[in-house]
Amino acid sequence: MRKTNCWEHTLCGRQLGGHKEKDFGACQISLETKYNKINGGVNGGRYCWNINDNLCKSKDTISISQQEEKCNDCSFKKLVIQEAGDSFIE
């Protein structure tokens, strides 16, 4: 079964070929091939909380601990944890 990636969950449109890519550029998460297939995602799509240049972290002026808290409270990360179960990769 195909897994939902963060850009599909958030509907941000900044993935490669997304409706906002032309205006805002492609999100780094959709480009990170070294994370391909982690937690069943495409590129960084199910590992976004570990990629520095993401929508939650990129232009925020909040501290690193606040950024981590924001990711840990994220409904998408919680979904990935639930779906992956024991095979979840933090």
- Alpha-carbon distance values, 10 to 17, 24, 86 (Å): 15, 16, 24
Which residues fall within 8 angstroms of residue 66, CB to CB, at 6 or more apart?
60
- Tell me the CA distances in angstroms from 31 to 25, 38, 54, 65, 81, one per residue in order: 11, 14, 11, 25, 22
Residue 11 to residues 15, 37, 65, 68, 89, Cα–Cα distance (Å): 9, 20, 26, 21, 23
pLDDT of residue 69: 80
Q: List the domain boundaries for the chain.
A: 6-85
Residue 82 is predicted with a pLDDT of 96
Question: pLDDT per position in the chain (90 positions), as tens?
Answer: 889 999 999 999 999 999 999 999 999 999 999 999 999 999 999 999 988 777 666 555 667 777 778 888 899 999 999 999 999 999
Note the pLDDT of residue 56: 63
